[in-house]
Structure 1
Amino acid sequence: MTPLTILKAAVTELEKRNVEYCLIGGHAASLYRISERVTKDVDFAILTTSEETAKKTAGEIIQALDFKPVSGFVATG
């Protein structure tokens, strides 16, 4: 999946669940920069009633996209 495909799929899942969200990170920065900020991930902030609900919702969406949710520090090699 390309980042744009992931972005579209994530938005579909967020809207299907009526989650209030905001695109953040590199893709959001690309909307107001002259040159695109290249990034391979998609970042969202979601508004929920609690941190627990936010983690649960994010995990469900990540799994719906066939990814594995990971939290905490993740070594990149």
Structure 2
Amino acid sequence: MSIESGSSPALRGHYPATETARAEGHDDEAPTEEMQRVNFEVPRSKRIKLKILAAKRGQSIKEFLTDYIDSFPDE
């Protein structure tokens, strides 16, 4: 399968399912700015550790990391 520039909504930073969820009010908080996707790879053991930490707090990995980022001081 070839990926052409602009052929995939994800490649352009648009995620239809996420945008639909926001439009239908499924997000806990209404975003006040444009959302950006962050992807990176970690070893399996680190992902499991992250998943456990998030689950202990009743959160998804996304919620856990977002809360962590929100705890950083503003510059």
Q: Structure 1 length as normaliser, TM-score?
A: 0.25
Query: More relative contact order in 1 or in 2 (CA 8 Å, sep 6+)?
Result: 1
**Bigger fraction of residues in strand:** 1
